[in-house]
A and B are shown apart, each in its own frame.
Chain A
């Protein structure tokens, strides 16, 4: 092996790369060698010790190489991973993330009996010993705030939907409504991390990264996992949404979500500057890649390969993203369906339309974030705005996928990180109220490939406070999504820090069969 310029060690040692050992071990050795730079000579000793332990008994076998290549267990880990474990119902997914916690009682969890209980205190037996957030823990009273809006039954399924979501109601027979989603976290950041990565702490890969890692790409010209953010509305209470939510965690960074901007250029600096044409760009990239490959051969850091592939992806995106974002060929029926908002980049309706276009082009996983659902106060003022912004887009997306024949193998998911309380935060008046965070039950829906349309799953108590029947914890929710895409959540693992890490975490999770078609 070539000596690194920074290395002063001139001892004559056997070259690991020439040893008759499996390629993967050479790879791991090379990775450890980067640590050597840090640890100096001692590091090399450590590296050898590590290599010995990696090799185990095989270090003494003359035919170690031959044996390991013929045995299936020694096949390269990544190579065979990029497949579903069983024939999937859905090939791709679109996740409409309602950040902030939509109030289930005002939208999809119909509780007609609450009207009679207006301004009465919620019984202590219902709340139990639950620890509340700092925002309402100090309240002297917990007065029940019935929903301000009426509900109607829709479709053959007879699902009850709030008058705030008339368009969602119209597609009730396509939806799988889950009333009993529940989470362990009561504040935004841990809850949104748990929902997306299966863990409240940052650093774990998110659902989209696991899918990209496990299933691979269907279109090499576009990222496997894309994130669309909706423009903020200053009237709403917007909680931060950070790139931790689409991070690949300990997986290679090529599986991280690629975020598109909600205003201006979708991707910054995507177009070549004046004087640089496609050919010049190609030459430049070839040269950079050559240098990067050289670095990889010397240092063996897998992130170098990620970098090379990201440069290549960016080059291909220079052609594919303008085509993706070109809405000029959309027929009039598209605008009739999605509404005039969809013409304005960064609106929720626009993002829904983009999600459909990405699904058509084989993007494996698209996540649309809509912030502002954190309605601690002025529910009657803010909630109609939120619903107006999202209701038609959701309906348009599902309907559009359906009429184009894409809903058969696309899973659409609508969810927030938690629900909201039945009792009012702050003052309760006949016209207005606020709602605090509520983790014990909240309503989500799915539609499309793999789930059973036209059902409402699970039951909550008459206060929409506790789950009465068929709870769906976040880990089961995620296990079910993976199942629809052909993945056994217990098998899609990645060993880090001595643990076979997985999206659903260490608490046993199970696929909710009641949701499946």
Chain B
């Protein structure tokens, strides 16, 4: 209630003229100067101060949204007020309220940064954004009566526009502090990303090194929001190799070869409810394998350039292409069942889910199954995801039929008379991931068309002209089993 009265009072005072106006201007000027001097009075030195400051400070992210909402409301009220004067009357009040909100949020924000010892260019920018915004709103308050009375018509709208721009910028800086720098752009569609001019400069890393491939991404995802370019808690930055090894206020955090003495590992392996546990503030803890990678990397010397680390093998995460469900083959079920029960090539169900598709199985009749029989399965083509033609009598002519099996993911042609002419006809099979040509007469040249098939990742050429049988197994490795 009290704030409402003050806001009203402020508005009234500003409207009245004379001596009181001068007082108001003087007070405003003093207040602005105080705000501008604040960073020099209480320097953000990166050291934590009182707990109560942090306690109050943590209300900043909550409170800050009130002035934002109020300030954004002001121009709307002013514009709508052109038709309904009552709204314009409210605008002054809302602006006053926004100013008080700004003061409150600014105070809490300062307490948060000062109390928790957060520093860094991001924090500094956000702070100056907040101070500028508060002063801007104050000046708007002062300029608004002129505009209302019509004496100076353009200053107030111009000021208000500037205030809104500052608001957007300061709010974005704040958001970057809590959510991370790339929060907005991370999932931006690739074509849009290309036009992103304000892309961040990647820190210098040895490409292909274990650090670049595995350690840096872990730190980037879990630590850098608080220990990075924009926010530097405890004087520690983890966004580049140099800074990681340099350490923070408590000294180095990585001691090469000694994971047990490396503070970084100690802090991430504490019990999660421990006061010093990292990542702090309820952020998800590091995954066990991530900790294992860091430990092995430190043990191996914490090199910036080494490409492998003893004891760690990380599978390349090349995700299999998503399975494309096939249509419902239920209406063909009688035919499929009849085939499964009879003698001859069978269509087997991948699983109980019809969308998983069918497997063409020829194991029973492999030697007599030829191109003509394969062609008879064309009507099931959209449902067949795997064709097992290993050891059958099919020839290069089968590629004409197989090229129409649009949902094919795995194709077994091992031990057939295929020579590879016509493999290009498989190119339309965009979902084919597995192709077994072992024991055929396929040559390297015939395989060239497969290069364009993006999803094809398992090609087996054992015992073919394209990949001759391996030379004799070295026998020296066979066990020295002498007691």
Binding site for B on A (CB under 8 A): 80, 83-88, 153, 155-158, 163-167, 170, 173, 218-221, 331-333, 336-337, 339, 360-362, 380-381, 384-385, 387-388, 391-392, 403-405, 408, 452-454, 486
Contact = CB atoms under 8 A, between A and B. Distances in A.
A475 B477 CA distance: 36
Interface string B439-483: 100000000000000000010101100000110110001111111
A333 B469 contact: yes
A362 B479 contact: no
Given A392-B478, A404-B460, A153 B311 contact: yes
B361 A362 contact: yes
B94 to A, nearest CB: 55
Contacts of A361: 363
A180 to B, nearest CB: 16
B434 interface: yes
Given A167-B478, A218-B361, A405 B458 contact: yes
A332 B469 CA distance: 9
A339 B477 CA distance: 12
Contacts of B412: 405
Given A164-B479, A165-B479, A454-B315, A83 B349 contact: yes
Interface in B258-312: 308, 310-312
Name the 7 nearest CB pairs between A and B, nearest first. A405-B460, A156-B313, A384-B481, A158-B311, A219-B363, A362-B363, A333-B469
A15 to B, nearest CB: 29
Contacts of A86: 351-353, 356
B351 to A, nearest CB: 5
* Chief secondary structure at chain A's binding surface: loop
B481 A387 contact: yes
Given A167-B478, A384-B482, A405-B438, A337 B460 contact: no
A454 to B, nearest CB: 5
26 contacts: A83-B349, A87-B356, A156-B308, A156-B312, A157-B311, A157-B313, A167-B477, A167-B479, A170-B477, A173-B313, A218-B361, A218-B363, A219-B364, A220-B343, A221-B363, A332-B469, A333-B470, A361-B363, A362-B388, A384-B482, A391-B478, A391-B479, A392-B479, A404-B439, A405-B462, A453-B315
Contacts of B480: 163, 166
Contact of A387 (B350, B460, B479): B479
A165 B343 CA distance: 45
A380 B483 contact: yes
B164 interface: no
B373 to A, nearest CB: 17
B78 interface: no
Interface string B343-363: 100001111110010000101
Interface in B398-440: 412, 414, 434, 436, 438-439
A373 to B, nearest CB: 15
Interface in B125-183: none
Contacts of A80: 352
A404 B315 contact: no
B137 to A, nearest CB: 55
B33 interface: no
A88 B312 contact: no
A87 B351 contact: yes
Given A155-B313, A404-B462, A405-B460, A83 B478 contact: no
A84 B350 contact: yes
B350 A158 contact: no
A333 B462 CA distance: 11
Contact of B472 (A336, A360, A385, A454): A336
Given A381-B483, A392-B478, A158 B473 contact: no
Interface of B: 308, 310-313, 315, 323, 343, 348-353, 356, 361, 363-364, 388, 390-391, 412, 414, 434, 436, 438-439, 458, 460, 462-463, 469-470, 472-473, 477-483
B471 to A, nearest CB: 8
B473 to A, nearest CB: 5
Nearest to A389: B481
B439 to A, nearest CB: 8
A23 to B, nearest CB: 16
Contacts, number: 114
Contact of A403 (B313, B434, B460): B460
Contacts of B348: 218
B481 A385 contact: yes
Given A86-B352, A360-B390, A392-B478, 8 more contacts: A83-B349, A86-B353, A87-B350, A157-B313, A337-B473, A360-B391, A380-B483, A405-B458
A339 B474 CA distance: 11
Contacts of B414: 404-405
Contact of B434 (A333, A392, A405): A405
Contacts of A337: 473
Contacts of A83: 349, 351-352
Contacts of A155: 313
B294 to A, nearest CB: 16
A469 to B, nearest CB: 10
Given A156-B313, A158-B311, A387-B481, A85 B352 contact: yes
Nearest to B478: A392
Contacts of B343: 220
A385 B479 CA distance: 10
A32 to B, nearest CB: 28
Contacts of B481: 164, 384-385, 387-388
B301 to A, nearest CB: 16
A86 B350 CA distance: 8
A503 to B, nearest CB: 19
Contacts of A218: 348, 361, 363
Contacts of A220: 343, 364
Contacts of B308: 156
B464 to A, nearest CB: 11
Nearest to B482: A384
Nearest to A486: B351
A84 B478 contact: no
Given A87-B323, A403-B462, A405-B434, A153 B310 contact: yes
B463 A331 contact: yes
Contacts of B351: 83-88, 486
Contact of B473 (A84, A173, A336, A387): A336
B189 to A, nearest CB: 30
Nearest to B481: A384
Nearest to B483: A380
B479 A166 contact: yes
A454 B312 CA distance: 9
A166 B478 contact: yes
Nearest to A517: B315
A158 B309 CA distance: 10
A170 B473 CA distance: 12
Given A87-B323, A87-B351, A404-B460, A221 B364 contact: yes
A163 B478 CA distance: 10
A155 B313 CA distance: 8
A156 B310 CA distance: 7
Contacts of B482: 384
Contacts of B364: 219-221
B382 to A, nearest CB: 17
A84 B438 contact: no
A490 B477 CA distance: 44
Contacts of B363: 218-219, 221, 361-362
Contacts of B352: 80, 83-86
Contacts of A164: 479, 481
A384 B462 CA distance: 32
